[in-house]
């Protein structure tokens, strides 16, 4: 009977834990950027928010992929 690799499982959980703050920070920064369109750093803040959202999506993908490897790979 196969057993779950606990070290790899916790690594996947850490990826998901890292994605959690980015899931809230990214949309908040984008919202703030759109509310301050006259500000000279509007584009920089918008790009920062988009990168935070992209980072959250990447970490979620990496975390779920790692958890699936821990459960189903030998």
- Please state the domain count of the chain: 1
52 vs 29: CA distance, rounded Å: 9
- Distance in Å from the first CA to the final CA of the chain: 10
| β strands within 20-71, DSSP E | none
- Is 1 a domain residue? no
Phi and psi, residue 5, nearest 5°: -80, 105
Domain that holds residue 23: 6-72
Q: What is the pLDDT of residues 20-56, one digit of tens each?
A: 999 999 999 999 999 999 999 999 999 999 999 999 9
Is the pTM above the cut of 0.75?
Answer: yes
């Amino acid at each position: 009977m196969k057993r779950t690799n606990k070290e790899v499982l916790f690594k996947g959980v850490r990826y998901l834990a890292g994605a959690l703050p980015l899931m809230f920070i990214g949309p908040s920064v984008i919202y703030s950027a759109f509310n301050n369109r006259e500000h000279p750093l509007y584009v920089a803040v918008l790009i920062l928010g988009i990168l935070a959202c992209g980072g959250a999506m990447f970490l979620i993908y990496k975390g779920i992929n790692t958890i699936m490897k821990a459960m189903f790979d030998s």
